[in-house]
Amino acid sequence: MNIHEYQARELLIKFGVPVPAAIVVTNPMDAAKAFDKLVTRQHGGGMAVVKAQVHAGGRGKGGGVRMVRSSDEARKAATEILTRPLVTPQTPPEGVPVTKLMVAAGVEIAKEYYLAIAVDRKNSAPIIVASAEGGMDIEQVAREKPEAIIREPISPIAGLAPYQARKIAYRLGFKGQQVRMAGKIMHQLSDLFLKCDCSLAEINPLIVTKPTDEHPDGVVMAVDAKINFDENALIRQEDIRSLEDPTEVNADEAHASRFGLSYIKLDGSIGCLVNGAGLAMATMDIIKLHGGEPANFLDVGGSASEEAVTEAFRIILQDPKVNGVLVNIFGGIAKCDTIARAIVVAAKEVGFTVPLVVRLEGTNVEEARKILEEAKAEIPTMQIGGDLTEAAKMITAATAA
């Protein structure tokens, strides 16, 4: 589960991480007022930042983060961001609508760093990932200069050790008071990560402000944050669960998850109904191999009920781009006859106007074949595929025609 930057900022504050002052607004007039409040409160600089609150990152590159130097500029920037979809390297090409903005006090940045905690699957433990080359191009740094990225595993039981934080701070090039400030933030972030069951807690950029008389080494603080949570742990994270923004969740994906289905919509035209994530990936690959484009990833799970499978067909067929459906089931715990019955029910309830290719193998396959044979008259667009390659060829041929 993902949350907005302004919500991530609140969590950082709760764990003690310094962040610039900020106000969330939904219209240009309030953005102007927020500027006046923030900029008089702040020492020097006279600048604020108007930031689109959407789940996609890379906002700076798409005009979703604007520096403003007056309340009038804040109002104009807010109007521009709110009235057109935001397109960034992480949004669909048509962009995403923006309804909320965060106006943050501008800080004088001396240098930007990257600091994140993620799950290291290889070590089955959290890992700190940090770089002195933070900011908007961290993806490029990871690709072209992997040696500029520091990695340090964290004990899931003991948490981050003080010596680790110091080592990372020195390797990032922090000096004087900065070492202590950055180390403290690493501990706070690691605390947040473990206590809130995060799958990712990322600060990009972590910054050092320009030196002042009061802070000759500057101040280390978080200027942007992205936090994701492990959905399997939400059952014990009521407060976190309540942060979910339903407008950011794909309605079909949410609907599917209520039926225990893992559904992810894609851009192609061949709907896929498969059991098991690995088989679903393999099915998508083989569709592509034969020149088709999958319309979705759908794993109906190991113990799919007739009801859930019928719902799965409903979701797939609702997508106007779908011009064919490939069912690929390997019956283990899920039984082929259950799937066959669900196909018949779905055909009656939803109706298959598009080609349907069914490939079933495993538990109760004989009975399943019988059910489908008998239903052939009711589902004229259905073909039964032998093996996976044959089924993939059938569906790509049927949809290409």
Using CA atoms, how far apart are residues 170 and 178, in angstroms rounded to an integer?
10
Please tell me whether 2 is known to bind a ligand: no
Q: How far is the CB of 146 from ligand ADP (least distance, A)?
A: 20
Residue nearest to Mg ion as judged by C-beta position? 224
User: Of 73 and 224, which has the nearer Cβ to ligand ADP?
Assistant: 224
Please indicate whether residue 147 is annotated as part of the active site: no
Token duo for residue 366: 């004989």
Question: Taking every pair of C-alpha atoms in the chain, what is the biggest distance, in angstroms?
Answer: 85
DSSP β-bridge partners for residue 262 = 299
From the list 5, 114, 152, 311, the catalytic residue is 114
Check residue 205 for interaction with ligand ADP (CB under 6 A): yes
Nearer to ligand ADP, 207 or 312 (CB): 207
Catalytic-role residue among 5, 73, 152, 202: 202
Tracing tokens 């109906």 back to the chain, one arrives at: 300
Question: At closest approach, how far in Å is the CB of 33 from ligand ADP?
Answer: 18
| Residues from 136 through 195 that contact ligand ADP (CB under 6 A) | 136
Annotated binding-site residue? 39: no
Minimal distance in Å, beta carbon 84 to ligand ADP?
17
**77 belongs to an annotated ligand binding site:** no
Q: Which of residues 62-121 bind ligand ADP (CB under 6 A)?
A: 65, 104, 106-107, 109, 112
Q: What is the C-alpha to C-alpha distance for residues 274 and 129, in angstroms, rounded to an integer?
A: 36
CA angle 193, 198, 201 (to 5 degrees): 65
On whether 59 is known to bind a ligand per the annotation, the reply is yes
Among 204, 296, 323, 399, binds Mg ion (CB under 5 A): 204
The residues, any chain, with a CB within 8 Å of residue 384's CB and separated by 6 or more, are: 357, 358, 359, 369, 372
In whole angstroms, what is the distance from residue 231 CA to residue 262 CA? 12
Q: Is 276 annotated as a binding residue?
A: no
Q: Is 263 a catalytic residue?
A: no
The reply to whether 59 sits near ligand ADP by the rule CB under 6 A is: yes
Q: Looking at the DSSP assignment, which residues form a beta bridge with residue 117?
A: 128, 201
Picking from 22, 180, 159, the residue whose alpha carbon sits closest to that of residue 102 is: 22
3-state SS assignment for residue 342: helix
Q: Is the separation of the CB atoms in 137 and 96 below 8 Å?
A: no
Token readout for 195 is: 């206590």
Task: Decide if 201 contacts 227 (C-beta within 8 A).
Answer: yes
Partner from Mg ion, ligand ADP, none contacting 112, C-beta within 5 to 8 A by type: ligand ADP
Stretch that binds Mg ion, among 106-114, 121-129, 217-225, 316-324 (CB under 5 A): 217-225
- State the binding site for Mg(2+): 204, 224
The residues carrying an active-site annotation are: 114, 202
- State the binding site: 51, 58-60, 107, 112, 204, 224, 275, 332-334
Give residues in contact with ligand ADP (CB under 6 A).
Answer: 20, 49, 51, 57-60, 65, 104, 106-107, 109, 112, 135-136, 204-205, 223-224
